Structure 1
């Protein structure tokens, strides 16, 4: 089996999914290549022995898109794979323009483009997805919510829901005190938020809620792990001694372990990896009710109305103030991660889809 993954973006959850699938499929004995822009993902894949082809594409459509499409066509023609797996909106745009259904094609949106666009662009994005649906043989959605959103816009491609997964052998419950010592954090009630500092991820909403959390738990601390375009602006909101601006860090396991609660304040998601990683680490999750969150979190924390800042603050404070509640939810989360969201199960599901798709094509 020869499969090519095409991805842009190359960071955060999408990159983690692509890497897991590429490594898993190579271990099955498949010939696997990843086409993506140069950077951390490409470097890591090469270190792990995966064939990588540079595709210097930007994250959003623009004047360079035509050149990007031409470059991608040359790469795919040269590789001549049995199937192509397109990840996220930009790769989905370029890849479907190149392939146009002539080769078995999987498209995995990882959150629809029209769910993050506004105004006219939102309508244009939805129209494009309806048009391009004919050029994908298999749609893979990471949550039931994501599939429903696509169907509501008239996207009728044959679809399967394959929830994101995490390596539950690497992420495990460990000593909270030891993790805080390694990170140099004080041993006080701790909320952790992991994610790119960008409007979609909603850290500004969490920072707005934080004073209410401190009113209930005065010695609490908030650790923000990540960097991004909103860092300087949002530091003005969260300019408080209890807020730690950690910046980007690829080794996030200790941060989950150090937490009493992990917070996901996103404005939109397909199915975020952060709650799954937190649950695998045995920590409860507090999140807004956006795509895939209820399906992933279940009883392993609190899912509050999207954008409801007071409710977010109340749920965080409750778990920082009540270790018994937080521990119980953490144990529930660990069980959910092992049974429902282990990355090995994800790899098996995708491999089955690819085998079926290529077999039908032959």
Structure 2
């Protein structure tokens, strides 16, 4: 309901509505549902929790009612929990596309990871297509033993919405709200405050950055389960901006954007930042690595979970304005070429059409066979 998955769903719905699709979205009440209604989607209230648990049977039952009412041609389930509930609900009776947005078994360990892996293998039989947002996510699924009709469709963003702007003007507008010093160098991290996104590593690295770049500021944009602990360990120069409906001004105000994730499918934040003409520093995990243009990797990739290399990369980039400007220009061109949401939405639509055509062929063959049997009898 928040973070990158919500962003992907919103941009996909926006593009699908513009292309003339009739789109119904089942989700819990909240900001995502309201945003999708404003785009013209039919939003159905589906009470559901983030993780599997005792509420799952009731969630499946409620989702079944929605499916019966809407009678969709294709069902597209985003993220592990929705993928679990949707496939248990439909069990292959409707062409079902599953998009994991990072595999469930990567977020857990031990017995829980084994159970999650076993489910993904089993659930694939009720899945007409699996959409991975990076080649690395696809390979992780294969290595886990998931057998599926695969599509790798990189995440896309709207370059008309995420676009460059004069950072001094944007920062001046944000300053009264966020307490920013318009003259200070600003590092921005946009993401849910959780272990996956690695803000704890970033806060451990920040004092080293501050010693070498006095007066620099770090803004954490987002909320999440680790917020209290992160606040407790935050040092000087760190601002908690909270969740925001529109992160664009924060990207535009930044001198540098950082995403210190431990794992990713393909994060939106680096793509959004590059579309805004900003240099990025990301950890060398598969989904983040694939989001960068090849020329960025020497400057912008750091090992995951290691504060010192992260601090060094942030410091080096902050102290080199010409490098930041060059990386920002290259990043914008890369997004326009490879990550425009229109390309992603059309690739998804092509998959829908393929599944519907295949279903029509199967139905036609079945009808033809039934007709022949009637003639024989």
* TM-score (norm: length of structure 1): 0.95
**How far did residue 47 of structure 1 move?**
2.2
Per the alignment, residue 325 of structure 1 pairs with: 323
**Please, which of 102, 105, 108 is the counterpart of residue 111 of structure 1?**
102
Deviation at 1:257, TM superposition (A): 1.1
Q: 2:161 aligns with which of 154, 157, 170?
A: 170
Aligned residues: 352
Separation in structure 2 between the aligned mates of residue 297 and residue 91 of structure 1, nearest angstrom = 28
Matched, 1:234 2:211: no
TM-score (norm 2): 0.91
Matches within 5 A, 1:351-362: 351-362=349-360
Report the equivalent of 1:350.
348
Task: Decide whether the 8 Å contact of 2:128 with 2:148 is kept in 1.
Answer: yes
Which of residues 302, 306, 309 in structure 2 aligns to 1:308?
A: 306
Contact 1:260-1:319 within 8 A present in 2 as well: no
CA distance in 2, matches of 1:286, 1:212: 16
Matches within 5 A, 1:233-272: 233-240=229-236, 242-272=237-267
Q: Structure 2 matches for 1:1-362, cutoff 5 A?
A: 10-184=1-175, 185-186=180-181, 187-240=183-236, 242-298=237-293, 299-300=295-296, 301-362=299-360
SS of alignment partner, residue 251 of structure 1: coil
Matched position secondary structure for 1:56: coil
> Going by fraction, where is helix more abundant, 1 or 2?
2
CA contact (8 A) 1:287 1:304 kept: yes
Gaps of 5+ in 2: 361-377
Quote how far apart the aligned CAs of 1:17 are. Answer: 1.3
CA RMSD, Structure 1 to Structure 2 (Å): 1.1
1:148-200 alpha-carbon deviations (Å, 9 max, x no partner): 11000011101011011111011111111111111112222211101111122
> d(CA) in 1 for partners of 2:329 and 2:101?
28
Q: Which runs of 4 or more aligned residues in structure 1 lie more than 3 Å from their structure 2 counterparts after TM superposition?
A: none
Any stretches of 5+ residues in structure 1 without a counterpart? 1-9
Aligned counterparts of 2:136 and 2:320: Cα–Cα separation in 1: 31
Mapped to 1, the partners of 2:322 and 2:14 lie a distance apart of 38
Q: What is the distance in 2 between the residues matched to 1:308 and 1:148?
A: 25
Separation (CA, whole Å) in 2 of partners of 1:246 and 1:202: 17
Q: How many Å apart are 1:219 and its aligned residue? A: 2.1
